Amino acid sequence: MLIKRGKRRRPRRWRRALAWFAGVVVILCGSAVIAGEMYVRSVPMPAVSAQPQASTLYFRDGRTVLARVGTTDHSDVPLSAVPAAVRWAVLAAEDRDFYDHGGVSIRGVLRAVVANVRGNREGASTITQQYARNAYLSQDVTVERKVKEIALAIRLERKFSKDQILERYLNSIYFGRGAYGIAAAAYAYFGTTANTLTAGQSAVLAAVIKDPYNFDPANDPEAARSRWDWIVKAEQEQGWLEAAPAYPKVSPAHAKDPGPNGPIIDRVEAELAARGITPRVLHTRGLAVTTTLDAPAQHAAVTQVRKHLAGQPKGLLAALVAIDPETGGVRAYYGNSQGRGYFDNASAPHPAASTFKPVVLAAALRNGISYESRWDGSSPRLFPGRLGVPLRNQQNLQCPYCTLEESMVDSLNTPFYAVTETIGADTVRRMAHALGVPKRYANAPTLVDAAGDPAPGKTRPDIAIGRYPVAPADLATVYATFASGGVRHDRHFVDKVSTLDGKRVLSAAPRAARAIDRHVAADVSAVLHSVIRAHDLSPGRPAAGKTGTQQWADTHDNQDAWMAGYTPELATAVWIGKARPGPIRDAEGEPIQGDTVPAKLWKAFTHDALGGTPPRELPEPAHVGDPGIGDARPPQAEEPAQLADVQKKKELESSAAVAGKRRP
């Protein structure tokens, strides 16, 4: 029996094409692997890692040295002297796959991609890559540098064991506070040696590797604790830690270069970090940083603060910030007398008191209310926003038919409160933000009631009398915006940065935005110039300014005293107070007010800081707005003739102190 054979099927064309394509892919992948291997072998392995070199900070002239910032605290320790708790904490923070990869972690890259997609910033560099970059390469963010970093990481993995790499890494990484390596870090943060570090302490040190300034508990306790919690959780997830340890006590960041220039270095370091130049690079790469600080102005600030605090009671603190209105560059900065790592009073918010009234005036002018409009400056007065508590003027001054200019000169509370209720407290808040007050302090919204206040999260008309805290540095920015004709410039400390060989790696590019019309700014200047003249505060050239005093609780004492003012060349805010709010008194036992120590300090500083520079005139008033707007009732002919003459008369009897009362 014959069996019929079917026709042979020819392979389909698509199968042949697929086989051909697969072959090409294999060849290309093989070629890529060979090329990659050749490149890895071609990258030279430096015999000696780059030695750290201190950077130099200069005043704005580019020649006068402000400070030298460098890593000098460094001593190596063998890995055997480093507790396992340190290793696990560092690996949890920086490279959980360290003992499983060959220098580059694919899982780490994928994890970083997912984190970045979710809005969280996470690096993909392994510990080996970080060591290669820090020890042998620059910090340039370029494809070429990244490729070299990967190649060196692979070569390091082939040359050294994992423990050898980790030991070199722990001895070379920068932990902040001038501490270079784990031994120096253990002493800088805990006053101990590396071999005694606990799990809790290890997590603190692992946290600062990513950002030595902002994750230092002395600089940002909340951010440091959050990073610490994240690392401890990661260790537990990896099975490296059972129970979470207690958060350890961290030593204060005692400075090695104590002095008033210390807070400036902190500000410069933070600003550079935000621009991509990490603290490690600043401390180890020998950079030349030209700041915006003016040597004569800084000398005047330090000298005058010391002079005006000399002989005063212990515990009295001062802050001074001076800004160039035309650029936003900080010309002088005094945050404390101790140095780096100590509390920076210039960046700490305090109730602004009457120095905030010019913000109300600017908002009124922009809403068509003239500074020549008349308002009822009687005292006391009841307002809806006061929730039944009467508002009084300082010393209970009376001015029932007062212009806003007169109200500013005598620092009357009731007219500006009435203006704020007329235009809206939110309008004043938005004006303050436009002029330079940030919208948040430490993740909390500014210029609104806090928890426990009458209206949490909302702005009440008490903003008119400076109820809400503002940092001296931000108040200086507000007044600099007035001085610049209404243009707000970003406050900054750094002008430019260059490498050892003179290559420019960063230049200042501050943003500028018009906050108010120049005519509004001119009218604000005209009113504040009247304040300077009336109180004999002229620094020897045309100037504008305002004092402010915050009452201490329900007493006749004060807790904060201010003076903020400007010339066309320089805007300065001065604050006097205590570390913890409390009564501030002078050497004679008298309560300190804005028109005493702060005003005298501002006047002397401005005179000295601008010595030798020709004075410039303030702009002429533009008379913006309608002078007919106001809540004052004109005196009637049948009323006592002396009514108009007793405006601003001081009542002899003491007035009962009320919550929210403000003085000049």
- Residue 436 to residues 107, 356, 470, 471, Cα–Cα distance (Å): 44, 12, 10, 11
Phi-psi label, residue 344: left if phi above 0, alpha if psi -120 to 50, beta otherwise:
beta
Burial (Cβ within 10 Å: 0-12, 13-18, ≥19) of residue 589: exposed
DSSP state of 639: S
For 191, residues 6+ apart whose C-beta sits below 8 A from its C-beta are 251
Residues 6+ apart with CB under 8 A from 25: none
Q: Which of 105, 125, 347, 354 is catalytic?
A: 354
| Contact status, residue 137 vs residue 171, Cβ threshold 8 Å | no
* Distance, CA of 281 to chain centre: 20
Q: Is 199 exposed, middle or buried (0-12, 13-18, 19+ CB in 10 A)?
A: buried
- Whether 611 and 296 have beta carbons less than 8 Å apart is answered as yes
For the chain, the farthest-separated pair of C-alpha atoms sits apart, in whole angstroms, at 143
661: left (phi over 0), alpha (psi -120 to 50) or beta: beta
Spatial contact of 594 and 664, defined as CB atoms under 8 Å apart: yes
Backbone Cα Rg of the chain: 32
157 an active-site residue? no
Residue 617: phi and psi, rounded to 5, are -85, 150
Token pair for residue 478?
């507000």
Measured CA to CA, the distance from residue 187 to residue 39 in angstroms comes to 42
| Residue 521, number of CB atoms within 10 A of its CB | 25
ω into 380 cis (within 30 of 0): yes
Q: How far apart are the first and last CA of the chain?
A: 123
Q: Among residues 468, 521, 479, 482, which one has the least CA distance to residue 322?
A: 479
Q: Could you confirm whether 94 is annotated as catalytic?
A: yes
Residues 6+ apart with CB under 8 A from 381: 390, 391, 414, 417, 418
Determine the Cα–Cα distance for residues 577 and 584; give it in Å rounded to an integer: 6
Residues sharing a CB contact under 8 Å with residue 527, sequence separation 6 or more, in sequence order: 358, 361, 371, 404, 405, 408, 544
Counting every residue written for the chain, the total comes to 664
Paired tokens of 195? 């071999």
Sign of the alpha-carbon torsion through 225, 228, 230, 232: negative
- E strand segments, 182-310: 288-291
Query: Do 293 and 60 touch, CB atoms closer than 8 A?
Result: yes
Task: Find out whether 643 and 635 touch, Cβ atoms under 8 Å.
Answer: yes
Six-digit token pair at 547? 């004092």
Amino acid identity of residue 203, one-letter, is A
Catalytic residue among 94, 167, 271, 569: 94
Q: Which residues are catalytic?
A: 94, 354
